[in-house]
Structure 1
């Protein structure tokens, strides 16, 4: 049995149809893991739903319809509107029973999710996750933890995420910390790609080629780290010849504080997630 076979008879829904939800939904279609008519998404705007309709997926303005039609429900709204979204998830025909919910919401703990979801479902099975948008091209990273999820259903969750990239189960205490890199990291590296491209555009390389080269440099460097299992510092040293062009560039990177800026960026993202977690407890 192939991994994707576990999803063939499943219906997957998204409460909140924004960028992260689209990355997962479209990614699953591109991997042929789900048919478009087995995917549902809700949003409060027709503009957001038009993306889902363009791919042949089901779209609705009513959140509860997603839960009614789906076995697996992603909670993919912004943290500050979770309460409002869940209030519109209550079924007109009664309380839901034992649905599987996967949260991709920053900072909201399993305990808080359980408290909130118990108001619409008698026995919610909950996964807290932190994926990232490169899932759309099957190069994502997802970290997750569970509450009240049977082994068979956790296997389905891991299969779903693994189809779209790397997937690791970790302690909930590490979710915010890991998410500061895995969830936010692509944005940092898009900035790096743009900056690297700017550097060679400055020296005469056409923009389209410059961006392509810069992106491939990051892809190649990442694969070198993963496949050789060498320390990044060692791989860096292997490129830096004495009195060469690369070490001259590295010197400028250190002079500009790029390393410190990256560390600070991750720390700032983690701190913001912790702040959102505290707000969700007070809410």
Structure 2
């Protein structure tokens, strides 16, 4: 088999769905391990992959392994599988705070490692993933890892020292955006709009705005200015947001997030 997962939770499922939908891998080329039978059966039913309760079986059968367990389980899982990991295999990690140096120490031998930080929009095919590699991963192997990661969204290679920043700007940021959408919808409800409709309007506005940034290549400030007519409604709303400290609140929240990531 070509691709193996240790852990079959939501992020693993998002990756499985992405690579199968893209045609990169067939279901029969994927194996996933999970201690919980419910987790195994869920991905088997959804994606038709092979499943097992044995982490070592995944390593023994797959060419590329994705460690998709929670960060607190990395040490014990690596201790379990390190002796069966082969020199030619690539191990992709998705845990915040687990550096390439830390991972190498856990394995205790030369292992091809690709450290990544995806985010939850991967579950709808719109993920943003950062990736970095250790010295044993070739350019060709990195491109292969990027193909896997791009099957559920966008991927960028970054220097490892930026990984903690990635946590705040894309890993955790969906939570900030959800709060913004919820606040926008609450305001619309307060002004008489039905809640379901308010969520639809707010979410679509955020989606469309983000797409404008990505597809036009224009600076966000320029796009903002395009909406703000002199003496109009939008500039008045912008004035209040500035008065209430929106930018400062976002910046301070992200700096706090990055600080926590550095301590993990």
- Residue of structure 1 in register with 2:196 after alignment: 208
1:243 partner SS: coil
Of 37, 47, 59, which aligns to 2:51?
59
Q: Kindly tell me: are residues 230 and 95 of structure 1, through their superposed partners in 2, closer, same or farther at Cα, counting changes over 3 Å?
A: closer
CA contact (8 A) 1:142 1:166 kept: yes
Cα deviation for residue 88 of structure 1 reads 2.7
Q: Which segments of 5 or more consecutive residues in structure 2 lack a partner in the other structure?
A: none
- Residue of structure 2 in register with 1:112 after alignment: 102
What TM-score does the superposition give when structure 1 sets the normalisation length? 0.85
Of 172, 185, 188, which aligns to 2:176?
188
- Number of residue pairs matched by the alignment: 262
Cα deviation for residue 115 of structure 1 reads 1.7
1:40 partner SS: strand
- Residue of structure 2 in register with 1:83 after alignment: 75
2:32 partner SS: strand
2:69 partner SS: coil
Structure 2: distance between partners of 1:203 and 1:60: 53
Structure 2: distance between partners of 1:149 and 1:177: 23
1:241 partner SS: coil
Q: Kindly tell me: are residues 194 and 36 of structure 1, through their superposed partners in 2, closer, same or farther at Cα, counting changes over 3 Å?
A: farther
Shift >6 Å, 4+ stretches: none
2:81 partner SS: coil
Quick check: 1:18 aligned with 2:9?
yes
Cα deviation for residue 106 of structure 1 reads 0.3
Cα deviation for residue 90 of structure 1 reads 5.0
- Residue of structure 2 in register with 1:141 after alignment: 128
| Cα offsets for 1:215-234 (capped at 9, x unmatched) | 21111111111222221112
Quick check: 1:257 aligned with 2:263?
no
Structure 2: distance between partners of 1:195 and 1:238: 23
CA contact (8 A) 2:14 2:152 kept: no
Cα deviation for residue 164 of structure 1 reads 2.3
Q: Kindly tell me: are residues 141 and 49 of structure 1, through their superposed partners in 2, closer, same or farther at Cα, counting changes over 3 Å?
A: same
CA contact (8 A) 2:79 2:106 kept: no
Of 206, 214, 221, which aligns to 1:226?
214
Q: Kindly tell me: are residues 188 and 52 of structure 1, through their superposed partners in 2, closer, same or farther at Cα, counting changes over 3 Å?
A: same
Structure 2: distance between partners of 1:36 and 1:184: 30
| Cα offsets for 1:79-137 (capped at 9, x unmatched) | 2221112233256xx5633310011110111111112123xxx5421001111122233
CA RMSD of aligned residues (A): 1.9
Structure 1: distance between partners of 2:259 and 2:201: 33
